[in-house]
Amino acid sequence: MTHDRLGIFANFHLVSDSTGETLAGVLRATCAQFDNVMPVEHSYFLVRSARQLERVITEIAAAPGVVMFTLSNLEHRAQLEDACREMDMPCVAVLDPVLDMTSRYLGVEMNHRVGNPRKLNAEYFKRIDALDFAMYHDDGQQHVDLAVADVILVGVSRTSKTPTCVYLAHRGVKAANVPMVPGVPLPPEVFSKDGPLVVGLLISADRLIHIRRNRLASMKETRAGSYTDEDAVRREVMDAQKLFEREGWPTIDVSRRSIEETAAAVLNLLADRAT
């Protein structure tokens, strides 16, 4: 662990016999609770043999830090925990508290199976179908079959409609998105009272101008026109808000939300509609 003017740099070793997605998420959530902490992530995924684990332990010894793991094999767990104890290094099995509590509640022993196998079951194909749907109906490209969407996201350009739809697709939700373009009417399917849930994405004008200018800069585009003109952008934002209020659509302010937070809010709206 080192300190400098930027903050604290700390090694985090993520050891998993699966894809490591759980550990990566836990690490992000953990570091978000500390100011000026810069995690140096060391990832060791699909670790399923003693020889692989020995190499991991050697690398951990070379860069002391926090060790977080999800290992189902009991011998491998003991091997890693013993090594960390000898090196006086903090080591935690991040899922143990939840698994232990669930096991006690259910009265069922854990199977110690490696997590997240990619099974070709109905849920898997549902996600693939939802992803295809999101890509086909991205940015208002196709109005065909909009009525079979679970949700339609409507918003001005650069309100994270596409990545939110993709994230929702990975949760098995058929999400389409329709952009609000000045002078271009929205498709009539959006206004169907018996149609899918329509969610309006709001954003502050100042935030939108900042995002759009950064977008143009990354593309080395010098011609901006009304796309980043302050007055024009404020009119876009105001027109969107008026439309959402007039139609009675639920809204989500994405000004300072992550994609995951926006998607979670959409899932909550879908759940509320289903009850």
Binding residues, as ranges, are 155-162
Nearest to 250 by CA among 125, 155, 174: 155
Question: How many CB atoms within 10 Å of residue 90?
Answer: 11
- The C-alpha atoms of residue 178 and residue 103 are separated, in whole angstroms, by 45
- The C-alpha atoms of residue 88 and residue 81 are separated, in whole angstroms, by 10
- The C-alpha atoms of residue 212 and residue 233 are separated, in whole angstroms, by 10
Q: Which residues of 42-69 are buried (b: 16+ CB within 10 A; e: fewer)?
A: bebbebbeeeebeebbeebeeeebbbbb
Question: Virtual CA dihedral for 148, 260, 163, 27, nearest 10 degrees?
Answer: -140
Encoding tokens for residue 7? Answer: 């903050």
Over its C-alpha atoms, the chain yields an Rg (Å, rounded) of: 24
Binding-site residue set for ADP? 155-162
